[in-house]
A and B are shown apart, each in its own frame.
Chain A
Amino acid sequence: MSTLRFTRDHEWVRLDGDLAIVGITDYAQSQLGDVVYVELPEIGHRVKKGKEAAVVESVKAASEVYAPVSGEVAEINQMLTTEPAIVNADPMGDGWFIKLRLDDPKELDSLMDEEGYRRFIEEQP
Chain B
Amino acid sequence: MTLVTAAAPLKRTPLHSLHLALGAKMVPFAGYEMPVQYPSGILNEHLHTRSQAGLFDVSHMGQLRLVGGDPVKALEALVPGDLLALASWRMRYTLLLSEAGGILDDLMATRLEDGLVLVVNAARKEADLAHLRARLDRSTTVELLEDQALLALQGPAAATVLSDFCEGIARLGFMTATETTLAGCKCLVTRSGYTGEDGFEISLPADGAAAVAEMLLARPEVRPIGLGARDSLRLEAGLCLYGHDIDETTTPIEAALAWAIGKRRCAEGGFPGASVVLRQLAEGAARTRVGIQPDGRAPAREDTPILNAAGATIGRLTSGGFGPSVGAPIAMGYVDRRHAAAGTPLALLVRGTARPARVVRLPFVQHRYHRG
Contacts and interface: CB of A to CB of B under 8 A. Distances in A.
Given A33-B37, A33-B42, A37-B329, A62 B301 contact: yes
A37 B322 contact: yes
Contact of B228 (A55, A57, A59, A81): A59
A29 B231 CA distance: 21
A58 B322 CA distance: 8
A60 B297 contact: no
A55 B129 CA distance: 43
Interface string B219-232: 00000000010011
Interface of A: 33-34, 36-37, 39, 55, 57-62, 81
B41 A36 contact: no
14 contacts: A33-B42, A33-B228, A34-B41, A36-B324, A37-B298, A37-B299, A37-B329, A39-B351, A59-B42, A59-B228, A59-B232, A59-B322, A62-B299, A81-B297
Given A60-B228, A62-B299, A33 B321 contact: no
Interface string B100-112: 0000000000000
Interface string B36-74: 110001111010000000000000000000000000000
Contacts of A61: 301
A88 to B, nearest CB: 8
Residue among B37, B44, B232, B298 with max Cβ neighbours from chain A (10 Å)? B298
Residue among A33, A36, A81 with max Cβ neighbours from chain B (10 Å)? A36
Interface of B: 36-37, 41-44, 46, 228, 231-232, 297-299, 301, 321-322, 324, 329, 351
A37 B37 contact: no
A95 to B, nearest CB: 16
Contacts of B42: 33-34, 58-60
Nearest to A57: B299
Nearest to A34: B43
Contacts of A33: 37, 41-42, 228
If over half of B's interface residues share one DSSP class (helix, strand or loop), that class is named, otherwise mixed; here it is mixed
Nearest to A64: B351
A34 B226 CA distance: 14
Nearest to A84: B297
Given A33-B37, A33-B228, A34-B41, A59 B324 contact: yes
A89 B299 CA distance: 21
Contacts of B298: 37, 39, 57
Contacts of A37: 297-299, 322, 329
A65 B258 CA distance: 44
B322 A36 contact: yes
Contacts of A62: 299, 301
A39 B299 CA distance: 11
Given A36-B329, A59-B43, A62-B301, 12 more contacts: A33-B41, A36-B324, A37-B297, A39-B298, A57-B298, A57-B299, A58-B42, A59-B232, A59-B321, A60-B228, A61-B301, A81-B297
B301 to A, nearest CB: 7
B299 A36 contact: yes
Residue among B43, B46, B228 with max Cβ neighbours from chain A (10 Å)? B43
Contacts of A57: 298-299, 322
B43 A60 contact: no
Q: Which 9 A-B pairs have the closest CB atoms?
A: A34-B43, A36-B322, A59-B42, A34-B41, A59-B322, A37-B297, A57-B299, A60-B228, A34-B42
Contacts of B299: 36-37, 57, 62
Contacts of A58: 42
A117 B42 CA distance: 27
B14 to A, nearest CB: 25
B299 to A, nearest CB: 5
Nearest to A60: B228
A74 B321 CA distance: 31
A33 B229 CA distance: 12
Nearest to B25: A33
A46 to B, nearest CB: 17
Given A33-B37, A33-B42, A34-B41, A60 B351 contact: no
Contacts of B46: 59
A62 B351 CA distance: 11
Nearest to A81: B297
A34 B45 CA distance: 11
